[in-house]
Amino acid sequence: MPRVSPATWFIYSLIMTALAFTIRSEIALILPAIPNFILGLILSLRKKYYLFPIAFLLAVWALFLNAVLFVNYGEPVVVVGPLVIRSNALWATLIVTVRIMTITGAAMIFVSMINPRELIISLERQLGLPKGLAFALSLALRLIPLMTYDYHEILFIRRQRGYRTKLIIPTDVIGVLLPLVAVGIDRAYWIGIAAELRGFQLRKRRFNPKYTLWDLLVIAAAIAQTIVSLAIVFLH
């Protein structure tokens, strides 16, 4: 088992997310935003999750576009042909980026530090996740590759049958979800029966928390960031 339990990283990333949602002063968010984002970026690049920075940049671009469309007022800052970008649009983009950095940063740390199977076990042991939900999550892990295969098979059949493979209008969604869920439900039915025949009813909750010093340090780091951010909010 890793030194910091996956459930602890889970809680850490939830606390960071809560900060991003609730702290209204953007200045106060800079403190969690920058270190979390940099740490997250390093960890996720080491794990070769290149989609993260790309998705992050896309999100910031979308924000910027949005800001230019809806809150473009104040002093002109940049003039590109007929397009005038004003101070408030830039400011709005910047402050929302701080929120996204906090969330993505925590998310990148989280997914780089855990593996899904250990996370589920850890959620059960450390946080008392009920057995049914733990079962559903474990099974979901098992089903992801199977259902990804189903999905590609269904898309190929659609192509063969001359239907769109990009899901644009609702009937496209029905045409893909219907076989996907049909095959999935059939599997679930028998997997559920097999689990009941192997004593699912008798299963006990595996709640048995054990926190190490490392766990406490990570939680302490989250709490420290919360306190500092709140302090800045009140001082401001």
Partner 1 sequence: MPARRYTAIDFAILAVVAVVVGLIFFFIEIPYEVTKAAAGKMVARIVFYGLWFIGGPLAGSLIRKPGAAFLGEFLGALVEGILPTIYASSVLVYGAAQGIMSEIAYAILGYRKWGIGAGVLAGALPALVVPFLDYLLWGATITDVMLWVYMLGAMISGAIYGAIAALIGNTLRR
Partner 2 sequence: MLVDAKITRAQHRGSRFVLRDVFLNLGEGESVLVVGSSGCGKTTLLLAMTGVLNNLLEGEVEGYSRIGGVNLLEPEGFREVARLVGVVLQDPDKQIAMPTPYDEVSFVLENLGFNDIEERTNRILGTFGLTGKEFVSIEKLSGGEKRRLTIASAIVHDPPIILFDEPTASIDPWGVREVRKYFREHVSGLGKASIVVEHKAKYFLDLVDEVILLEDGVIRARRRISEVDEAFLEYLEEHGVDVRSPILIREPRKDAGRTILETRGLTIGYNGQPVISGIDFEVHEREVVVVIGANGSGKTTFLKTIAGALKPVAGEIVFHEENPRVFYVPQNPDYMFIHTRVKRELDDLYKRSGRIFIEKIFSEAPWLKGLLDMSPHRLSHGQRRWLALTIARGYNPSIVLLDEPTTGLDLKLYRHVVEWIRKIVKEKRSIIIASHDPRVIADLADRVYLVENNRMREVSLEYGLKWLEEGFK
| Interface with partner 2 (CB under 8 A) | 116-117, 135, 138-139, 141-142, 145-146, 150, 153-154, 156-158, 160-161, 163, 174-176, 178-179, 182-183, 186-187, 190-191, 193-204, 206
Measuring CA to CA, how many Å separate 203 from each of 27, 126, 131, 134, 206? 49, 17, 7, 11, 9
**Which entry of partner 1, partner 2, none binds 156, CB below 5 to 8 A by partner kind?**
partner 2
Judged by CB under 8 A, the stretch of 29-37, 77-85, 174-182, 217-225 that binds partner 1 is 174-182
- Closest CB 25 distance from partner 1, rounded Å: 12
Number of residues interacting with partner 1: please give it, by CB under 8 A.
Answer: 77
Q: Is 66 in the site for partner 1 (CB under 8 A)?
A: yes
- Closest CB 159 distance from partner 2, rounded Å: 8
CA 205 to CA 192: how far, in whole Å?
Answer: 18
How crowded is residue 205: how many other Cβ atoms within 10 Å of its Cβ? 13
**Which entry of partner 1, partner 2, none binds 104, CB below 5 to 8 A by partner kind?**
partner 1
CA 102 to CA 94: how far, in whole Å?
Answer: 13
Q: Is 99 in the site for partner 1 (CB under 8 A)?
A: yes
Candidate list 4, 7, 20, 154; residue touching partner 1; CB under 8 A: 20
Residue 171: is it exposed, middle or buried by C-beta count within 10 angstroms (0-12/13-18/19+)? exposed
Measuring CA to CA, how many Å separate 170 from each of 80, 150, 153, 199? 39, 20, 20, 41
